[in-house]
Amino acid sequence: MKKILGLAAVMVLAMSQLSFSAKSDTDAAVQRLVRVAKQRQAKQAKDAAKGVAVEEEVVVVPVEETVTTSDTAVQDARERAEAARVQAQERAAKAREAAQQRKTKTRDIRAQRRNMSESKMMDVEIQRIRKRVDQINSNIEKFHKTNEMLDQMEQRLDAIQDRMN
């Protein structure tokens, strides 16, 4: 019994060492085999704890030997990280440029206002007020149209209710 528990513990330790030392970008087939081995070890440990004699079962699974180079995966990851960094730098540069344009625009507007005569300032203010009045008038027109539509809908509803009764 002690031998079985010792063997199971050694196997678990060996598999954990292998799984930690293995690279994370391994083949799907290798990952599947590691998962199957872990399941077998767990089953053996469970059976050993119950006192059942453990018989090792050897299943031969043909696996094609493929050589995967992690260099390409690492290189792809580096390229993606570099592309993301470049994009972030471009976005930051565009944001800085837009902020600078806004600042210069506001400075220009302030300078224009300072240089305006009283009559020009009055004209600008009158234009601003006219624009706002036009906006309010269009809102009032929309309100009247909506109100008329609601009245018509209420009349139709009343007519339908009269027919129903």
Number of domains present in the structure of the chain: 3
Same domain, 151 and 131: yes
Same domain, 39 and 81: no
Domain that includes residue 61, residue range: 2-68
Same domain, 9 and 42: yes
Same domain, 53 and 89: no
* Rounded Cα–Cα distance for residues 8 and 53 (Å): 12
DSSP assignment string, 40-65:
HHHHHHHHHHHTPPP-----------
pLDDT digits (tens, 9 = 90+) for 5-40: 887 888 888 777 766 665 555 677 778 888 888 998
pTM of the model as a whole: 0.33
Same domain, 76 and 108: yes
Residue count of the chain:
165
Exposure of 92 by Cβ count < 10 A (0-12 exposed, 13-18 middle, 19+ buried)? exposed
